[in-house]
Structure 1
Amino acid sequence: MAFENLLPVSDAVIAHAALLHEQSLFSQIKIHSRQDGLPELVELQIAIIGVRENRGAVDQIDIPVDFTSVRKALYKLFPGNWHTTIGDLGDLDAGESISDTVYALRSIVAQLVKNDIIPVILGGTQDLTYALYRAYDELDQMVNLVNVDGDFDLGDSSLPMTNKSFVGKIIVDQPYNLFNYSSLAYQTYYNSQEEIDLMEKLFFDSFRLGNITSDLSSVEPVMRDADVVSLDLSALQAEVLGYMHPEHVNGLNGREACAITRYAGLSDRVSVFGIFEYVLAGRTETAAALVAQLIWYFIEGVNYRIKESLTDRDTEFLHYSVPVEDELLSFYKSTKSERWWIEIPFLEGANNKLKRHTLLPCTQADYVNACNQEIPERWYKAKRKNEI
């Protein structure tokens, strides 16, 4: 049983939280404790898990991984008008090797996803995202991965995997279940021209930090199409994390990061969310407070998800056909949420796993631009991937 490897939340954290306000999150979260054991999974919709693994760091950090401060900061927050049942399943300790940790985390995440429970993973190094991705191997579907990070993390896939090369491993390792990779808030000077060219060659999406911060709403359709969202804390400005990552002077501010995690929660499709590169450096209480709020905003988003049946397009969607050059683009607008999608032509005889990708989330601006004879870039890339 995969969950037997999980360590309970410490007695000290629980004793500290017991003094909090009776309406705080602590009173609503079902907690894995030494006294009560694991909560019943059938009661949960979101499960928080810490992973004490940081051996995948390029610059080896010989510092223990401890999420005590994050839990204290999270438990004392007040929930919104939420209906979602949350569990804190404790921590997964590092295995004898990194591969042991990856295997254990993969097994846990796979079981949670199969039971319609959204894992919220708090790490350790970001190469643990590989375990989140591999958890989908048994689900017979292609996977869209979104990485909120200053780096593409493609690296050299021929070398042992690190927190700077896990995406390269995801691309080359079998089974090939990756349909799309989107990098949000990347910073050009952290990525080689070779990596930038490879992103274009593979028709992956990339959004520079400046483009994201000037229009945060552009993140929404990307998140709406994601299965796994991985956030690297080094994508945030060093000062907002108490200089946990002091070399990252530029990046997202706290409000922008929280808005992005809320978009991830709002997505009907996101089934795994991870926050990584939490290290015990700098002013830990500052970073812990922000990480707690990132988790809070993700849960807030989940509570306001709008379930829309994209198969029932006749009654709940408005359809617009737009001729652009030699293409006829089909747009759909939800009458319930006013969100937009664009249809990707499905090739007969293609991989059946791609059928769920025939509608691509987009924005109203994409429709307006199409009316002005501009083909949406994300539609073009998705179409090309379908043809390969």
Structure 2
Amino acid sequence: MYTPWLKPVDKPSPSLPAHSLGKKLRPRSRRIAVAIIGLDDTIAEKTRHHLYGSSWGFGKLSVRDLGNIRKTTPDFIIPLLRELHSAEITPILIGGDQQLFRAQFLAFGELTRQVSVLTVDRQVRLSADGEEQQVLDPAVHRKDKKQFHLTHLGAQQHLVDPAIWDLFASRNFEAVRLGQAKADLSHVEPLIRDADLMGLDIASINHAEAPARPGYHPSGFGLQEATQLAYYAGNSDKLSSFGLYGFQPDTDREAETELTAAAYAQLIWYFLQGYSRRYGDFPVSTKGLLEYVVDLDGFDRLTFWRSSRSNRWWVQIPAGRYKGEERHRLLPCTYNDYLTASNEQNLPDRLVTAFQRYG
């Protein structure tokens, strides 16, 4: 079905142990939940070597490796991603060139009216005026009305043009810098849960744990922290596309290349683990959500919702502000956000910014 876009890859080694991921892939399954796709032959092959040998811990999750893309241009990749989205298949994209992240988010531009893009990177690959053709420019500097909402995690302030932060403020975009995110990763979980798609650049991870990438920037998320972000992404019922970028193999430094491939594999493993443990919360269904109403100055009433299945929280966009699809009606938040609103009569800054997107 996907052969016009994809070429098959070698089957996992028959010598893999029975409990390995490579042994549990389901090549003949009609129902596919998650599809592994290589956007770079070399990177995907090295990643699969480490991924296939890892243990299977995902229950009955149907995962299939569809192979590698035949042509690595955004215009070629976008139709495939649209087809997968229509079939409700979540792709895991194993890429190198950060420019291919464009294909990942532009594929959504024609499918849904509101799209939330989340990127994890050490820098913000965006120009303030849209004239430098940075990776995120097509998402932000659009001339039509189909604007993307952008959330950025892990930026290092010394690598970002200060004008970018002004642009974020003017568009009500969200950004959590590296130090803020590392202080408490649980605070970024609602941001990831609000995203339709996520792209993670390996440069967001500290150099020692993923060295095969361009530049000499030592700091970043620890790999363990990054896998927690990948788990959050997999565990979100709303997120339906996950991509890895930034890996630059170097045959002269084989150990660094293999270490980075292993990091890619570990990120994918934790995404799959999160996916296998999805709760079926909103936007899949509002069944089982418990309502909590708060009287707050400036609002007739503010409604929070808690899932009895996952204990996760959402806040409802106030009436009169919200215009859009049902799945964007509730904004992911935390229990502490609810406590701040109910006990302190104060709306957290992030929710104020989020409401302004609809005001």
Aligned counterparts, 1:286-301, within 5 A: 286-301=259-274
Find the residue that maps to 1:150 and give its secondary structure. coil
- CA distance in structure 2 between the partners assigned to 1:51 and 1:226 by the alignment: 22
> Does 2:199 correspond to 1:230?
yes
Letter in 1 for 2:75: Y
Contact 2:39 2:68 in 1 (8 A): yes
> Does 2:53 correspond to 1:76?
yes
With over 3 angstroms needed to count, the CA separation of the structure-2 counterparts of 1:321 and 1:158, relative to structure 1, is: closer
Find the residue that maps to 2:94 and give its secondary structure. strand
Equivalent in the alignment of 2:33: 45
Equivalent in the alignment of 2:22: 26
With over 3 angstroms needed to count, the CA separation of the structure-2 counterparts of 1:326 and 1:320, relative to structure 1, is: closer
Task: Give the CA deviation at 1:150.
Answer: 1.4
Aligned counterparts, 1:97-112, within 5 A: 101-112=73-84
Equivalent in the alignment of 1:59: none
With over 3 angstroms needed to count, the CA separation of the structure-2 counterparts of 1:302 and 1:107, relative to structure 1, is: same
Letter in 2 for 1:287: T
- CA distance in structure 2 between the partners assigned to 1:66 and 1:179 by the alignment: 29
Task: Give the CA deviation at 1:352.
Answer: 3.6
Contact 1:324 1:373 in 2 (8 A): yes
Equivalent in the alignment of 2:356: 384
> Does 2:65 correspond to 1:88?
yes
Structure 2: 5+ residue stretches without partners: none
With over 3 angstroms needed to count, the CA separation of the structure-2 counterparts of 1:343 and 1:121, relative to structure 1, is: same
Letter in 2 for 1:49: I
Equivalent in the alignment of 2:6: 6
- CA distance in structure 1 between the partners assigned to 2:78 and 2:132 by the alignment: 18
- CA distance in structure 2 between the partners assigned to 1:269 and 1:362 by the alignment: 14
Q: Deviations over 1:332-365 (max 9, x none)?
A: 22222211111112437x7544x43221000011
Structure 1: 5+ residue stretches without partners: 32-38, 53-63, 96-100
1:185 to 154, 159, 166: 154
> Does 2:342 correspond to 1:365?
no
Contact 2:237 2:284 in 1 (8 A): no
- CA distance in structure 2 between the partners assigned to 1:160 and 1:195 by the alignment: 13
Task: Give the CA deviation at 1:303.
Answer: 0.5
Task: Give the CA deviation at 1:224.
Answer: 1.1
Find the residue that maps to 2:209 and give its secondary structure. helix
Q: Deviations over 1:170-221 (max 9, x none)?
A: 1123554344211011111111110111111111110011111110101211
- What percentage of residue pairs aligned between the two structures are identical? 29
> Does 2:309 correspond to 1:321?
no
- CA distance in structure 1 between the partners assigned to 2:60 and 2:2 by the alignment: 27
User: How high is the TM-score relative to the length of structure 2?
Assistant: 0.91
With over 3 angstroms needed to count, the CA separation of the structure-2 counterparts of 1:311 and 1:271, relative to structure 1, is: closer
With over 3 angstroms needed to count, the CA separation of the structure-2 counterparts of 1:250 and 1:208, relative to structure 1, is: same
Q: Deviations over 1:98-133 (max 9, x none)?
A: xxx112211111111111110001112222222112
Letter in 2 for 1:27: K
Equivalent in the alignment of 1:143: 115
Greater Cα offset, 135-144 or 284-293: 135-144
With over 3 angstroms needed to count, the CA separation of the structure-2 counterparts of 1:46 and 1:326, relative to structure 1, is: closer
Contact 2:291 2:303 in 1 (8 A): no
Equivalent in the alignment of 1:121: 93
Find the residue that maps to 2:315 and give its secondary structure. strand
RMSD: 2.4
Equivalent in the alignment of 2:306: 333
With over 3 angstroms needed to count, the CA separation of the structure-2 counterparts of 1:176 and 1:296, relative to structure 1, is: farther
Find the residue that maps to 2:208 and give its secondary structure. helix
2:164 to 175, 190, 195: 195
Aligned residues: 354
- CA distance in structure 2 between the partners assigned to 1:356 and 1:314 by the alignment: 14
Equivalent in the alignment of 1:60: none
